[in-house]
Amino acid sequence: MAARLVTGANGCIGAWVVRRLLAAGDDVTALDHGDERHRLEAVLDEDARSRIRFIKADVTDAAAIHRHVGEHGGDGVIHLAGLQVPTCRADPMLGARVNVLGTLAVFEAASAAGCRVVYASSAAVYGPDETPTRPHLESEAGDAKTHYGIFKLANEGNARIYHQDHGVGSVGLRPLTVYGVGRDFGMTSGPTTALKSAILERPYTIGFRGPTDFQLAEDVAEIFVRSLDAPDGAHVCNLHGETATVEDVVAAIDDVVPERLRGLVDCDGPTLPIPGALDDGLLESLIGPPPRTSLRDGLRRTYEAFARLHELGRLDLRDLPEEVGS
Ligand SMILES: NC(=O)c1ccc[n+]([C@@H]2O[C@H](COP(=O)([O-])OP(=O)(O)OC[C@H]3O[C@@H](n4cnc5c(N)ncnc54)[C@H](O)[C@@H]3O)[C@@H](O)[C@H]2O)c1
C-alpha cells in the first residue's frame, strides 16, 4: 500500500485525485486548510470517505507541512493547494504566499522526506496567441498575463532547482479548462456551472467565449496520479483534452440535456488570454497515452452525475448566481 499525501484535497481536482488513489488501494492523506468537503462528498460515497486521513493545515505553515509530508507522504505528494486567478488578482501578496511560498514549503518537505512531487502548474503560464487552435508546445509559455500565471512559472523554475540541488523528482502539470463534478470556482468554471443551472431550469451565461482546451476533472486526476511514476527529472507537461469553443459547448450542452432544458445556456465576454490547444506529446512520452474523454461524453457524464445529485437533494448550488427576485 503506497502512502500518498494530497494538498488541496478538498478542491475539484483534489477530490478526483483522492478518489483515484483510494481506488488503487493507497493510504491517502488529504490535507487542506478549509473545511469544505462538498466536492469530496459529490464524488465519493461515505465508505470511501471513511478511508481518508484528513489533516487540516495551511501550506504556508512550513513546519506543519514538513511534519505531515514526513509522516504520510513517503511515496509521493500531489500538490494542488492554491489560490485561483480571481483571488490572486484581488490580493497578489496573499497569492504569492500561498501559491509560491506554499509550494516551496512542499518541496522543502519532500526534499527532507526523500519523496517526489507532482504539482499543479497551469496553462495560465502562456500568453495569448494569434493562432490559438494550433497545438502549443511547453517551450512556448512565458508571456503570462496574470499574477497567477507568473506564480506558476516561478513554481516550475523552483521545481527545476530542487531537482538540480537536492535531487527532488517532480512533474508539473498544466491543466487548462477543467470541467466536471466539483468545478465550481475560477476563471473557467462557467461551463460546469451552466450544466447545474440548466438542471434547475435557470438561464445562465458563461462569462467567456472562444476556443479553449476542455479537460475532464476525472481524466486530469488520472494524469496526476500516473505522473507519480514518471521517470526521474523535473518535468513540466501540458495537458490536452479536446479543443472547442465555448460556443460549441453551449450547443453541446443543448445536445446532452433533455429537450425541455434546451436554450437556457449561452456565452458572452472576452476570449481567454491563453491558447486553446496544448500539445501533450511530452506527457505521453512520460506516462503513456493519457485519458482524453471527448467533450460530449464528459459533458454527458457530468450532466448525469449532477442530475443524480439533484434527485438526492445533494446538488451543491453555491456557484450559481442568486435568482432574480430571491
Ligand atoms: N481547475 C482548473 O481549471 C485548473 C487549471 C489549471 C491549474 N489548476 C490548478 O490546479 C490546482 C487545483 O485546482 P482546483 O480546480 O482543484 O482548485 P480548487 O480551488 O477547487 O481547490 C484548491 C484547494 O486548495 C485549498 N487551499 C487553498 N489555499 C490553501 C492553503 N493555504 N493551504 C492548504 N490548502 C489550501 C482550498 O481550500 C481548495 O480546497 C490549483 O493549484 C490550480 O491552480 C486548476
Domains and CATH numbers, the chain: 3-178+218-240 (3.40.50.720)
The residue among 259, 253, 316 whose CA lies nearest residue 42 is: 316
Residue 324 pLDDT level (bands cut at 50, 70, 90): low
Average pLDDT over residues 168-193: 97
Residue in the structure block whose three cell numbers are 434546451: 262
Read off the pLDDT band of 41 (50, 70, 90). very high
User: Residue 59 has which C-alpha cell?
Assistant: 501550506
- The answer to whether the beta carbons of residues 147 and 108 sit under 8 Å apart is no
pLDDT in tens, 208-266: 999 999 999 999 999 999 999 999 999 999 999 999 999 999 999 999 999 999 999 99
Residues in the ligand 1 pocket, defined by CB under 6 Å: 7-8, 10-14, 32-34, 58-60, 80-84, 98, 102, 120, 122, 175, 177-178, 185-186, 188
The 10s digit of each residue's pLDDT in 182-213 is 999 988 999 999 999 999 999 999 999 999 99
pLDDT tops 90 at residue 77: yes
Residue type, 295: L
| Dist. CA 81 → ligand 1 center (Å) | 5
Side by side, the strands of the sheet bearing 211-216 are 177-179, 211-216, 242-245
The stretch 76-85 carries a mean pLDDT of 97
Query: Which of these, 217, 225, 224, lies nearest to 241 by C-alpha position?
Result: 217
What are the C-alpha distances in Å from 206 to residues 109, 225, 246, 267, 300? 40, 30, 8, 4, 18
Return d(Cα 234, Cα 175) in angstroms, integer: 17
User: Cβ(11)–Cβ(83) under 8 Å?
Assistant: no
Report which ligand 1 atom has the smallest distance to the Cα of 9: 39
Q: How far apart are CA 31 and CA 70, in angstroms?
A: 13
Q: Is the pLDDT of residue 318 over 80?
A: yes
User: Which residue's CA lies nearest to atom 18 of ligand 1?
Assistant: 11
Ligand 1 mutation target, pool 5, 6, 10, 13, most atoms within 8 A of CB: 13
At 297 the pLDDT is 98
Task: Please tell me the predicted confidence (pLDDT) of residue 325.
Answer: 52
Rounded Cα–Cα distance for residues 318 and 326 (Å): 14
Q: So what's the pLDDT on residue 309?
A: 97
Mean pLDDT of 162-176: 98
**At 251, is the secondary structure helix, strand, or coil?**
helix
CA of 198 relative to ligand 1 center, distance in Å: 26
Mean pLDDT of the chain: 97
Q: Give phi and psi for 273, each to the nearest 5.
A: -85, 35
52-56, 96-100, 186-190, 244-248: segment of lowest average pLDDT: 186-190
Rounded distance from Cα 51 to ligand 1 centre (Å):
22
Report the alpha-carbon angle 311-314-80, nearest 5.
130
Q: What's the rounded Cα separation, in Å, for the pair 253 and 199?
A: 11
CA of 157 to the centre of ligand 1 (A): 19
Q: Is residue 323 very low, low, confident or very high in pLDDT (cuts 50, 70, 90)?
A: confident
Residue 106 has pLDDT above 90, yes or no: yes
pLDDT tens per residue, range 266-302:
999 999 999 999 999 999 999 999 999 999 999 999 9
pLDDT at 4: 98
Mean pLDDT computed over 39-67: 98
- The residue to mutate among 65, 80, 181, 218, having the most atoms of ligand 1 within 8 angstroms of its beta carbon, is 80
Q: Where are the beta strands (DSSP E) in the chain?
A: 3-7, 27-32, 53-56, 77-79, 117-120, 170-174, 177-179, 204-206, 211-216, 234-238, 242-245, 265-267
| Ligand 1 nearest atom to the CA of residue 179, by list position | 3
